[in-house]
Each structure stands twice: as structure tokens, then as C-alpha cells.
Chains A and B, each alone.
Chain A
């Protein structure tokens, strides 16, 4: 599958409806590099959908311009332009009188592809979205909401458009399925690398899906245009700060994994080891409690003072080594584990269950000092997640 993507530029974009004083979109300028996801987010009435719909000319531009790979969208006829821009809306809008296969084939047929190529493309997309080939002959009414949503995305991808517009695509899906679809979509995007304009009113979804986020305020004005991490760390003004929410530090932790931060070095000791050596190591460790491990390096528990009282280390634990976290855990989840166990420290384990370091509340707090540009985005996280079992 080819993965062409186009760059998109909104230049001083204005939409003013006749008979209204306030513009719906006011001098909006954005640049979206090819292959990136740009999320437009804001409260209702902020013009985010209006701005998106001007890109494929479903709404005519009042002033300013939109450039797709450097050329103005107004140079083309609307129908011709739209065939090269994928379009997904919240209600999906599948044709109820057409089969799933025919729905997906809509744009390739408009583009005049020959029958075999259209048919191959439909098969390819059904596989991509994980639907059985037999679904091809079904009608939309026979599918579940999640399946219909996937078909909506497949239909938008069918003509292999360099740009996709998605208007609250997961808005009508229940929370559990929404999360699954978001993750599927991120995996898909990690592979396809389309340029995407994604509209949502949900800041959490914006942080999860976007490479860049444009926060709009009422009247279609751009409040801030930044990466998710930057937005969470340095909100441009009280409006953005309020919009991203009081828990923005926690939201930022959702963008990092345990492996991304500096872990504490703990003191590991074995049963029967000389306590003098252990004490020596404790002197320049981050943490004053030694962690007793077995011969394989797997944690047994935190050693008590009595365990260190004699010449040799005795198996006398102050507490079990709970919780343990893994290198691939998301920091917010790891933090939640620590809090749930009412502890400030947790051993970090590798794939074999061996201790690699200690995660502490202080280390997590320190993670918030990482510069935003060093924080990976969700697509990269998803790509990593899909490559590891």
C-alpha cells in the first residue's frame, strides 16, 4: 500500500456567515507537515468543525486560503477535490442500501478504477480493519456500531487519499469500544502515516491522538498550537490551562513510559550475603532500604532491620515487593499502582522479571521536568506497543 501524504496549510482562514457579526473562524493559521495528525479541539461553537469542513470545501471559505501540498483547494472543483480527501464523520453515514463492499468501493469507483482493482482494494481494506471477507456482502444494518465505524474509516481510506478529515469519528461509540478503536487507529496510522485533521471536543482524545493539537476558543480563534506534552506543560493562557484540565500533570504522565525516565538505583542483596557489604552499598544508594532478590534477580521483598542485624543477610522482610512495575508500563498507570498500594517505591522489572531499578514518586515527579520535545507521541507509543508482544 502506498502511503503518500500531503502537507496542509491553513493561511489566515476566515469564515463569516451572512448576517452575523462574529466570524465562525477567525484568521486561523496552521501548518500540518505531511504524515502528522493535527487535532482541532475546543468547546462547542469554537469553529473546529467549520474549519475542518472548509478543507474539503463542504463549507466555502470566506477569506484566507487552504493549501494542500502547496496548491489552493479553491483551484479544484469540490467533487474532484473531495475524492482525494478521506472523510469520516461521527454518524459515519454509511449508505444503508449498499453492501459493505459497495460502500468501501465508493471512491475508487468514482475515480474510475477498473473492477479488479476495486475488488482487490476492498479485500485489502477489510483485512486492514479486521473484518471477515464474508462481511463484504452484508448491509450496514447487520453490523455492530464498532464494525460500522471501522467500515467508515475503510471507506475513507479506499482511494488512498493523502489527507484524511475526521470529525469526532469515535464520538458515538461507547467508552470501551472507543478506546479500542482509538488504539486500532493509532496502529493503523503508525503504518500508513497519512496527514490527518482530527476534530474532537475531548481533550483526552486530543492528547492521545494528536502529534500536534490546535486549541480553539469561541469565535474560531486559535488559542494554542503545540504538541501534547508542550500543551500540558506550558498552557499559553488561562483558557487553555482550564481547558486541558486541573489534572494536566497526570495527563502528561500518560505520554511517558517507565523506561523513559531516570530510575533510582536500589540496593539488591541476596540471602546469606555479608551485611557489611550491603551497608556499604546502602551508603551511596538513592534508597535506604535494601531489596532482597532470589538467585535469578527476581524480587522477594524489602529487607527489615532485623534481616541486616547479623553478619549475614537473613530472610526477614518488612514488606513484600509490591507493586512491581514493568519497563513498558505507562507512567500514569505505574503511579496509580504505587498509590493503590500506599507505597512510595516499586521495583521495576524487565521481561524476565529481574529488577532493573526502583520507581519512586520522586522519580515520577522528576519526569515532568523532561522537555516536551523529548516526550514521545502516542503514535510512537502505539508503534512500540504493536511491535512488542
Chain B
């Protein structure tokens, strides 16, 4: 199947109402700044679709993987099986997963989001479980010895202390998801990937659509980094 837009869908006058140089550039599939300026609004909707797919998938993926991480922390014997399952999800080729889900969930956002969520699981789960495991046992001992319940110890001590590791996982998951979401058009969910694919030989198009994807990944990364600094002033406290 091909997601190429048939020539008939190209708007009237797309190739005609421009000055000769520009026309020439576009015809050769080159990098044409003036074309980009004029056509930038074409990318707004796909960009926000991309943001939507990434954001929803990360949010759902984080909630599930975080819960699984806590579960594995409580029931140590579950760590092995959960790591195995999330690893398998992670190793399925992404295009194959999008296509495999199509008969079950049809074309559209749902299919894309299910697949994207699946890919976040290993990274976030592993970091949550590792982060919690690395909290020094004497700190947990002191916490329970002072009369914090196991749940209070988890939420007030273990999770905050595991936060660097957890957010590191979230950052990797965010960049991975932005990248994988460019393949979401295989599930008919659009996004920047659909734009890239529509005119993959037209440099201006690829640069703008691809560039927006890269910018989104960078912006998400900075956002998590900012969150990390805001949540963890103690990490910056150096020995006096």
C-alpha cells in the first residue's frame, strides 16, 4: 500500500503561479526557502497530530510502565517476566506492529497509539524498576524505622530518590516515540511522517517535516530536563 498523494490531489496552480526561479527549484525537488514560507501552514495540522500522538502515547505509556515498575518493586519475582514481556514488545519491528494491529483495531489513532505505547514500556519500566532498586537500603530502613508506612516510604522516599533514573527513562522514551510516530501513517494516523512520505523526493518538504519532528524531540527533551531540575534541587546541592 502506498500513502503517496495522487497528483490529482495537488492543489490547482500548485506548480504554475510562481516565479520562474522558484518554479524551477520546486520542479527539481530542491530546497526552496520561498516555497517553504508560502506553504508552511500545510504542516501545522500534521505537526499537532504528531504532538498529539506522541503526548498521548507517552502519557499512557508512562502510567502503565510506572505501575508495572512499582509492581515489580513490591513483587521482586515479577521483575524477570515483566522485563521479558516488555523486551519482546520492544523488539517487534515497528512497521510490522502497525500493520499487525490493523485487522484488530482498524486504521487511525487508536492503532498508532497502542503501538507507540508498546514501545515505551521497556525503557520506562526498566528505569523505574532500576531506580527503585538503587535506593540505598539504609535509607529505606531509617524511613520505616521512624514509622513511615511502606506506602509512605514508597511515595515520599523511594520514588523521589528514583526520580533521576525514572526521568532519564522518560527522556529516552520521548525521543524514541517522536521518531516512531513518523511511521504512524502506516496505521493511517497521519502526523509528520505522512507529510515526509507524501513527497519524499522533494527536499523542501522533507526538511520542513523532518525538521519539525527533530524540533519536537528536542523540545520534549528540554521539557523533561526542566522538570528534572525543578523537582530535584537536592541533586544540585554539592558538598560544602
Contacts and interface: CB of A to CB of B under 8 A. Distances in A.
Interface of A: 56, 58, 78-84, 87, 89-98, 106-107, 110, 138-139, 141-143, 155-156, 165
Given A89-B141, A93-B138, A139 B234 contact: yes
A95 B143 contact: yes
A83 B234 CA distance: 26
9 contacts: A78-B147, A89-B141, A89-B142, A89-B145, A92-B142, A93-B136, A93-B141, A93-B142, A96-B234
A199 to B, nearest CB: 13
Contact of B161 (A81, A87, A96, A155): A96
Interface in B134-154: 136, 138-139, 141-149, 152
A170 to B, nearest CB: 15
B222 interface: no
Nearest to A99: B234
Contact of A58 (B141, B160, B238, B239): B141
A94 B141 contact: no
Nearest to A58: B145
A354 B234 CA distance: 58
Contacts of B142: 87, 89, 91-95
Nearest to B232: A97
A87 B138 CA distance: 12
A12 B96 CA distance: 67
Given A89-B141, A89-B142, A93-B141, A143 B240 contact: yes
A66 to B, nearest CB: 15
Contacts of B157: 95, 97
Q: Is the interface of B mostly helix, strand, loop or mixed?
A: helix
Contacts of B161: 95-97
Given A95-B157, A98-B234, A142 B148 contact: no
Interface string B191-216: 00000000000000000000000000
Given A97-B160, A143-B240, A107 B139 contact: no
B139 A96 contact: yes
Among A84, A96, A98, A138, the most chain B Cβ lie within 10 Å of the Cβ of A96
Contacts of A93: 136, 138-139, 141-143, 145
B238 A79 contact: no
A26 B21 CA distance: 96
Given A87-B145, A139-B234, 10 more contacts: A79-B149, A81-B147, A82-B144, A90-B138, A91-B142, A93-B145, A95-B139, A96-B161, A106-B148, A141-B234
Nearest to A81: B147
B140 to A, nearest CB: 8
Contact of A82 (B138, B145, B232): B145
B148 A110 contact: yes
Among A82, A97, A139, A156, the most chain B Cβ lie within 10 Å of the Cβ of A97
Interface residues on B, range: 20 to 34
B237 to A, nearest CB: 4
Contacts of A87: 142, 145-146
A152 to B, nearest CB: 8
Nearest to B237: A139
Contact of A83 (B147, B237, B238, B239): B147
B230 to A, nearest CB: 13
A84 B144 CA distance: 13
Interface in B49-86: none
A82 B239 contact: no
Interface in B118-145: 136, 138-139, 141-145
Given A92-B142, A93-B143, A142-B239, A79 B234 contact: no
Given A93-B139, A94-B142, A96-B161, A79 B147 contact: yes
A84 B147 CA distance: 8
A82 B136 CA distance: 20
B97 to A, nearest CB: 38
Interface in B16-65: none
Contacts of A95: 139, 142-143, 157, 161
Given A89-B141, A93-B139, A98-B234, A110 B147 contact: yes
Contacts of B148: 79, 106, 110
Given A58-B141, A89-B141, A96-B161, A82 B234 contact: no
Given A58-B141, A92-B142, A82 B147 contact: yes
